[in-house]
Every structure is written in C-alpha cells, then in structure tokens.
Amino acid sequence: MAVTQSSAVTTCKLLVGGEWIDSSATEFSEVFNPSTGEVIARVPMGGAQDVDKAVQAAQAAFEEWREVPIVERARLMFRFKNLLESNYEEIARCVTREHGKTLPEARASVQRGIEVVEFACGIPSLYTGESIENIARNVDCETVRHPLGVCVGVVPFNFPAMVPLWMYPVALTCGNSFILKPSEKVPLSSLLIAELLIKAGVPKGVFNIVHGGRDCVDALLIHPLVRAVSFVGSTPVAKYIYETGTKHGKRVQSAGGAKNHIIIMPDADMDQTVQALQASAFGCAGERCMAGSLALPVGEAAEELLPRLVESAAKMKVGRTDVDEKIDMGPVITSQHLNHVRKMIDRGEAEGATIALDGRKVQVKDAPNGFFIGPTVIDKAKPEMSVVKEEIFGPVLSVVRCQTIQDAINLGNNCPYGNGAVIFTNSGATAREFKHNFNAGMIGINVGVPAPMAWFPFTGWNHSFFGDLHIQGREGIQFYTQQKMTMTRWFAPRSGKFQDPIWKERNK
Ligand code: NAD
C-alpha cells in the first residue's frame, strides 16, 4: 500500500526496493484539496537517510536491469500503457482532487503522459548506434548506447501525473533505474501510477519514490551513486539544481519557469484568437509553464480583441472541480499561492495598469475555503511593470499594446525566459518573421499552447532551461544514455594449427 490511512488523511509512503515503507522523517507537509481547502494527505519531509536507502536499492537493481534485453524493457512499457489506459479515469480524478484543475484538463494531461509511454514502447528502434566499416584500412568503427545507472526526477506541482511521466518511462526503457521525488504538494497521483508500474512487472528497486523538499533534493544531488538528474520547476530552483548537480558530476537537464508572449496581429482570425488566448491564459488556472501570460496586440488588434476577450473570460464558470465536471476553471494550488497571485494583481494596479477584468472579486459560494481566483486581464501594462516581467503562475493575462510587430518581438527578446511564444496572424510572411526572430524555444503559429507532444523535445531556451539535452523525444534518449565507441581491427592469422587457404592467400 502506497499510503497509510487513518481517518480521512492518508500518509504517503516511500517506494524503496519494491516495498512501500515509512520514511524516517519526523516532519510532514500537508496536501490539500484546493477546491475545499481540506487536508487530504500528509507527506514525510525526508532527507539523506531515506535517499540513501533508495539510491542503494536503485543501484543494486540497475546491475540486473541493464542486462535485460531492451525489447523486454519495452514490453514492460506496453503493459504499463495498458494499465494506465484502463485506470485513466481514476488517475485523472486523483489529479483533479490534489491539484484542482478541471477534470477535462486532468484527463488531457494524463493522455499526454500516456503518449510518453507510447514513445518509450518504440525506444528499441531509436536506441541503435552507428557504424562505419573500413573507416581506416581493415578498421571498423561503431557506437552503442549504454544506460547511465541511477537517475533521479524532481518534479513540480502543476502536472502531478504528466511531468513525472516525461521522465521515467524513457529512463527505464533505456536501462536505468530511477528515483522519483514528487512535488510535496501533489504526491498522490505519483503513488497511484507507481502501483500500476509495479502491477506491470517493474523489477524491485528499478523504480523508487522518496518524498520531501530541499533536504531530500540536496541529498539526491550530492549522492555519489546518482548519475543523472531531471528537474522541472521554477527558475531559481532549476538554476540551483543545475549548478549543484553538475558541480557534483551529475548529468542535469533542468527546466524552469516562463513568461510566454502571445502576439496578436490585426489580420488574425479574432474568433479563433479569443478562444485560443482564453484557453492559453486561463486553462489550468494559469498554472502551466506554457500558459500565454502576456498578450501583445499589435496596432488596431487591441481594439477588437480586448472587449471580446474580457466579455468571454468574464463568463467562465469558476468553482469546485472535484464535484462538478462542467466547471471552466478551478482553484490555484494553495492559499499562499492564492495570496501571491492577488498581490501581483495589486502590484499591477499600483504600477498604473488597468484591471480590465478583476478575478480578485470572484467568490465560490459552496466552497468558502477553496483557493479561488477568477480570470484576470491587466490591460495597458508597460514593459517595465512587474506583471509583464515576472511569472505569476495564476489566471492573469497582462496586455502590452504594441505599435508594430518589431516592438512586440523586441519586448519578447528582452525577456529572461524563453519557453513558448505564439503569434496569431493570417500572414505567412509575418509568421515567418516572428518564428525566425523570436528568442524562445517553442513557437506557436495560430496555436495557443505550443507544448510539444512526446515525440519532440521540450525545447525551452534562456532561463527556462539549464542544460544541453531537453526532456522528451530523442533528446530524452540521448540524456539517459552514454555512448561507447569501439574500433576493431582483426589480423589475418599468420601461424597456428589451422591455416585456412584464404589467409595464406592474403598474407602473401
Ligand atoms: P518549485 O521550483 O517550487 O518546486 C519544484 C520541485 O523542486 C518540487 O519537487 C520541490 O519540492 C523542489 N524544490 C523546491 N524548492 C527547492 C529548493 N530550494 N531546493 C531543492 N528543491 C526544491 O516549482 P513548483 O512551484 O512546484 O512548480 C511551478 C514552477 O514550475 C513554475 O515556475 C513553472 O513555470 C515551472 N514549470 C516548468 C515547466 C517546464 O517544462 N519548463 C513545466 C512545468 C512547470
């Protein structure tokens, strides 16, 4: 059992060496149902002792797992995929309960995670090395891939099922063992999915889970047996993970926060644009690293866009996602985060922007203790304002009205982040100009959230990513493997009992 149940509150266990065990931690963190504010679980805030147990188990398991033929490792993923699909609804409901996103959003996120497992099922054909025969006279050269060993994943709260699934299906199929450190705010989906991986037949110790915060992560980052660390979270922590991990000799891929720009040209299809912009800014209550959080209407686009967007967003139904499937937007993750989002809106107002739609006023009648805030549009913001420069990570869209597309591109290119950027236009030439010159790693053309599917890498730039090889796609396989090159030369035998006539001929 992944949890201990006492009254309504469950206590999360660690998964170490195939067993669910109690942590040695004495401190616990609370997990909430953000729709009601109720505590639904406790997570141990573990440290070096828990981590060492998990790493030792993972290292022992790795020695055998790396010898399992890759097609058998891929078959584990086929079984895992079937189990994820047959438990899809239960996982989505668990995501909604601990995170607060709507059920359709939770289902979609589980589907994106399953697609990574589908990708992992096909890894054998991407695992191949390269070879050149006769690279020098009678010399052949080849590369093959080897797994690294114990790999670690440290993940954020905003996609409790999907982001962990970006990592370990690929790492495991490549032959590594893995330790997952779920977000202490949303650990339950990871535990539920781990039960399915066990059911699919993952050998003991190949997949492990530890819980905690900074102490736990630090112990993972400095443990001598950990070979690689995948991180997704906020930029300051991403930078810290990259610097600390690489200092201790680990391979690190570290994805950080974002401020994603959406340029709207006057020639855009405004019906489609309003819909896509609303979904991008307010979907998942704005708690997405690819959320469009800054709109840059160019020229007269603002006059048409803003009234329509505000009218449409004002109609969004905000409420309890745990009991109502028809809600458009759920709560944010915690009361502290709710206060942070509110304060950012206050700051925008104090700095002189216009609050065109004010989510601070939204109340949800049947859930007075839920962490709710409504969709908010901050119009006429200026480039130097905090609501333009900082990631808010809530349902807040800031708008800077631009004179020309060049103004909009310049604004984006001065931003320290570089995850996503989007343009809405009907002009191919304008779209190409934007695609070529905008300083971000994931570009959308008439697509509100250009998050890549499992077959492509999640190519954040600037302070949205630290490292060389991104998460997902073929770069994921490169990250979780090391290459071995072999040069071979065989001499024709000159002596010995058996002298095939062919060698006599060659040695003449
Ligand atoms: P966070 O950085 O607070 O936490 C992420 C993880 O790091 C958690 O597991 C947490 O326990 C751990 N952690 C927190 N502080 C730490 C510290 N000082 N030292 C070591 N570990 C620490 O992020 P969050 O609030 O959970 O998630 C939201 C952030 O994640 C946003 O900034 C969002 O943009 C980002 N995000 C980025 C991507 C991407 O692909 N670039 C995807 C999803 C989320």
Q: Confirm or reject: Cβ of 166 under 6 Å from ligand 1.
A: no
Measured distance CA(178)–CA(202) in Å, rounded: 11
pLDDT, tens digit, 9 for 90 and up, residues 334-352: 999 999 999 999 999 999 9
Pairing of strands 9-12, 3-6: antiparallel
pTM: 0.97
Predicted confidence band at 493 (pLDDT cuts at 50, 70, 90)? confident
Nearest atom in ligand 1 to the alpha carbon of residue 237 is 2
Residue nearest to atom 20 of ligand 1 (CA): 214
Q: Name the nearest CA neighbour of 99 among 14, 28, 181, 189.
A: 189
Atom of ligand 1 nearest to the CA of 184: 11
Tell me, using a 6 A CB cutoff, whether residue 237 lines ligand 1: yes
Ligand 1 neighbourhood includes 183 CB (under 6 angstroms): yes
User: Catalytic residue at 94?
Assistant: no
| pLDDT score of 6 more than 70 | no
Our answer on whether the CB atom of 419 is closer than 6 Å to any ligand 1 atom is yes
* Domains of the chain (ranges, CATH numbers): 48-128+136-257+460-486 (3.40.605.10), 260-416+420-445 (3.40.309.10)
Mean pLDDT over all residues of the chain?
96
Residue 329: strand, helix, or coil: strand
CA–centroid distance, 155 to ligand 1, in Å, is: 6
Share of the chain above pLDDT 90, in %: 94
Residues 55-80 have pLDDT tens digits of: 999 999 999 999 999 999 999 999 99
User: Per the residue annotation, which of 94, 216, 289, 415 is the catalytic one?
Assistant: 289
- On the question of pLDDT at 8 being above 70, the answer is no
Are 320 and 327 in contact, with CB atoms under 8 Å apart?
A: yes
